[in-house]
Structure 1
Amino acid sequence: MDSAQQSAVTPSKNKFVQAFAKFLHLRATTGVAPLDNFVRKIKPQDKVTNGLLEEDRNWDIQPQFDIKEKGSQQWDALEVLLAELFASISSLKAAYAHLQFSQRPYDGDGIQVADQIIVSELKNLADLKQSYVDEQLDLSLEISLLAEIKEQKSMVKTYEIMVKKLERQIKLKESEIAFLRENLEESSWQNRLLNKSTERSWSFSVPKNIHLSCLNHIHFDAFLKYTIESLRRFVRSMVDEMKSACWDLEAAAIAIEPGVIYQKEDHKCFAFESHVCREMFDGFQYPDFSLPKESLPQESQRRQQLFFDRFVELMSSEPRDSLRENPESAFAKFCRVKYMRLIHPQMELAFCGNLSLRNQLNAGDFPDTTFFAIFLEMAKRIWLLHCLGFSLENHASIFQVSRGCRFSEVFMETVAKEELQAADNMLEEYDQQVAFTVVPGFRIAGTVLHCQVYLMTSKPV
């Protein structure tokens, strides 16, 4: 109980103690109840022979109520009536507080006890009224003091119930704070996932208390954006290597996507991005990612948990460290297979002057070069995206659109705003058509994550 609560209860307890001491002292000084409803005032010179201590002889006993001397100095009927009335009202207040306290959570026994007290006090009030009307009130000082004691006890009980109610509210607020803190942590993670920032400055992290049941398409969509950022960085690195090797980028773009007219010269990079996406996402729709000898649990929930555990484990580690610790893991096999398919021997020979990277991978080792490190980061994020997609209750399914398909904003978005503007200007001549898919799209239950496409910018022959 805090200081504020103590200060609220202490005065009532002090008054209760004072009234009770006054009552006991009265009985000790007289030995019996006041005779004929008459109480005399003890003066300091009076002798007391019933066992009082020496210092008690100088006490001057004064009741809290004013004594109106009317002949025999008996208590006025109004004084006693008010004392008993206040006592009953305080008791009713305490019983009503008890009744409220017992309603939530429901306490049948507590409600019944409070109801009995209320009924009893109402009956006492009715009897008190009748006694006053009939002039049959007990006008003794003892009755008045007992009523005051009853009033103070009721007040103490009321404060105790208030304290219990406040303690219960504190516990409820503490549980609400804990629940809101968990929601805040989950919301903060989702906000970090959805926050758009530069590739180098955005760090992706998973809260420690994230649960499998909390995953949804929002997490997948945010991680997809995170993955595409790494993929585009690899494409830029690959194009830089091609330029350093004096490759004909236009011829390479035509070899990947023939017959496409680009609005700008640097739009040819979308062809290379399309090539990388096709190779890296190939087999994404299968739980094993088309890896050889990859066995998975048949039971759905166990499989979801397996993919989620893989996601959490690899997400918190460096990809190179993971490969060194377990070079025969499914992720290690994935990296080898995808590198061999994505980087043609002639391309590697042009980039490096030899086939050392390929030879190291075939030997079960992993190269320690900048180019392979960028590839490894991209491969890690695509692998994690696959794990996240199969951790969902409704697995993420991948899709892309073919050349010549009509552009639809329901399923697609363009990678270049200027080409969409050009296509809008030609809308009277022909419908907007897809030249090729750059980044595939995904479906999760009823949610569609748009695929990114490059549109045709001239009327097909």
Structure 2
Amino acid sequence: MDHEPPRTSTNSSMSIFPFSGLCKRRSVAVSASAKELPNPNNHSSGSEAVNGSDDNRDSKVYPQPFDKPQITHHPKCSEEAMPKLFDAITALKYAYVQLQQAHLPYIPKKIKLADEVMVSVLQALSDLEETYRSQSSLSLEIQQHEDLLAQLQSKLRIKDLEMRRLRCEKEKLDAENAALEKVVKQKLLPKKHFYLNQEMSPALFLNVFELAAKSIHEFAKPLISLMKASGWDLDLAVRSLYNSVTFAERSHKKYAFEAYLSQVMLSPAPLEDERFSVDQFDGVMNSQDPFDYLIADPDSQFGRFCRSRFALAVPSKMEDSFFGNLDQRSFVLSGRHPRTPFYQAFVAMARWAWALQVMANSFVPKAEMFYAKNGQEFTKEYMEDVVGGLVSNREMKPVVGFTVTPGFRIASTIVPCRVYSYKTKSSTNNLRLDFVV
């Protein structure tokens, strides 16, 4: 009686470990008489060979037991792959037994059929192996990418920590800068000095005069820097202002530009209808930023003052050389105030110049402004040297080169003008002051 091959699953879709060595050749134990091939002329023997008894087959066929393969689970092994692998191995065992049984007795049809089954099962295992190899290669590539991803994530965490540290430092610096800016603004704008209920005294005027001179000095710095960057010949510009003055040091030429700004900002502008009343004084001087007041009221007294004096202080040729256009000028002359760093710096200077003239007009009688003439002998009562350290002697007398900031006379009180002086052997002894009405 022939044994039917067991029904097994040969579906193979993936592999999880190599299958080399699973199908080793097995020896088949037979009796001595069975080793002789049947004689085709001997019908009886042929009949016995074909119709061999079940007992004879049972006693002569000894399939060797299969060794259980060692299975190593791959880290990427899935639950669906293992049953397919075990089914394929089981089918291989039964196909091998069926192939052995087909040889005793020798039945060609059964041998062919068993051989086809054996080949089919081996092909299924081969497909599983190929799938495993492909998946192993893909798993290795995935693992490499995962390792790279882990490295990048680690670097990202380090960068994130660095960004947090820098952000904390930035916040700390911003807080410190805000505190410093507050201190600077408080120093530049001592609010308690400018309430209208405080009397406009010569002492208060002197305080404003010093702040105005300082603001002109501060604005001259970016103006000179822009002139240098724009290719201006500073020596030629100074000679066009004060050709006869001898400067003790090259750095002293900056006072010529300060003098130019003082004349523009403090002298009465020609053909200009300006009013310097105290109506808006409190609002302008108590604003944390004078530019905020301009935005709130662009056509105020202070706003008109800024527009007219900007056009005089920064001529169109100069502005065009600085910025390559006249956009700021057009914006200002149209009645508006551009929020640019340069114009904001100008407004900071203009506030003190405007405040000084408002206070000068508030006195009864009005404060008189005066300038010292070039070549006049230096007089301490009416003048203050911007450089300092002048010592007169019989041979060399200090004389006025030019007035940097004009002086004021309030009744019997004199606020000295600030002048640049140099020494010469001859000088004019008569005091000559140009008063501006």
* TM-score of the pair, normalised by structure 1: 0.49
Correspondence for 2:322 among 344, 347, 351: 351
TM superposition shift of 1:292:
4.0
Q: Does 1:232 align with 2:217?
A: yes
Q: Partners in 2 of 1:208 and 1:339 — Cα distance?
A: 27
1:323 CA drift (Å):
1.8
Residue 436 in structure 1 maps to residue 402 in structure 2: yes
Q: Structure 2: which 5+ runs fail to align?
A: 1-182, 428-437
Q: What pairs with 1:22-41 in structure 2 (closer than 5 Å)?
A: none
The match for 2:280 is 310
Residues 13-69 of structure 1, C-alpha deviation per residue, up to 9 Å, x if partnerless? Answer: xxxxxxxxxxxxxxxxxxxxxxxxxxxxxxxxxxxxxxxxxxxxxxxxxxxxxxxxx
Aligned pairs for 1:242-321 within 5 A:
242-283=227-268, 292-294=272-274, 307-317=277-287, 318-321=289-292
Q: Closer, same or farther in 2 for the Cα pair 1:264/1:366, shift >3 Å?
A: same
The answer to whether the Cα contact below 8 Å between 1:206 and 1:312 also exists between their aligned partners in 2 is: no
Structure 2 distance, partners of 1:272, 1:398, is 20
Distance 1:447 1:407, change over 3 A: same
Give the AA of the match of 1:372.
Answer: Y
1:326 matched residue in structure 2: 297
CA 238–274 in structure 1, closer or farther in 2 if over 3 Å, else same: same
Residues 1:208 and 1:351: Cα distance change in structure 2 (over 3 Å): closer
Kindly state the Cα deviation for residue 199 of structure 1 after the two structures are TM-superposed.
Answer: 7.1
Question: How many angstroms does 1:458 deviate by?
Answer: 3.9
> Which sections of structure 1, spanning at least 5 residues, go unmatched?
1-197, 284-288, 297-305
8 Å Cα contact 2:331-2:337 kept in structure 1? yes
**Which position in structure 1 is the counterpart of 2:361?**
390
Task: Please provide the CA RMSD for this pair.
Answer: 2.5
Q: CA deviation at 1:349?
A: 1.1
Q: Which residue in the other structure is 1:116 paired with?
A: none
Contact conserved, 1:260 with 1:435, CA < 8 A, in 2?
Answer: yes
Distance 1:309 1:337 in 2: 20
Q: Which residue of 1 aligns with 2:204?
A: 219
Q: Give aligned pairs, total.
A: 244
Structure possessing the higher radius of gyration over alpha carbons: 2
CA gap of 1:353–1:249, structure 2 versus 1, over 3 A, is: same
Aligned residue for 2:403, secondary structure, equals strand
Q: 1:406 aligns with which of 370, 373, 377?
A: 377
Aligned partners of 2:401 and 2:420 also within 8 Å: yes
1: distance between equivalents of 2:230 and 2:337?
A: 23
Q: Percent identity?
A: 30
CA distance in 2, matches of 1:402, 1:453: 10
The match for 1:342 is: 313
Superposed, 1:39-438 pairs within 5 Å as: 202-207=187-192, 210=195, 212=197, 214-283=199-268, 292-294=272-274, 307-317=277-287, 318-418=289-389, 420-421=390-391, 424=392, 427-438=393-404
Q: 1:263 to 1:222 in 2, by over 3 A?
A: same
Q: Which runs of structure 2 are paired with 1:15-26 in the superposition (5 Å)?
A: none
Letter in structure 2 aligned against 1:366:
H
Instruction: State the one-letter code of the partner of 1:316.
Output: N
1:454 CA displacement: 1.0
Deviation of residue 430 (structure 1)? 4.8
Shift in Å at residue 460 of structure 1?
6.7
Matches of 1:429 and 1:199, distance apart in 2: 45
Q: In the alignment, is the contact (CA less than 8 A) between 1:412 and 1:450 conserved in 2?
A: yes
Distance 2:219 2:267 in 1: 17
TM-score by length of 2: 0.52
CA contact (8 A) 1:212 1:308 kept: no
User: Given that residues 248 and 422 in structure 2 are in contact (C-alpha distance below 8 angstroms), is that contact kept between their aligned partners in structure 1?
Assistant: no
**1:417 aligned counterpart, secondary structure:** coil
Which structure carries more helix by proportion? 1
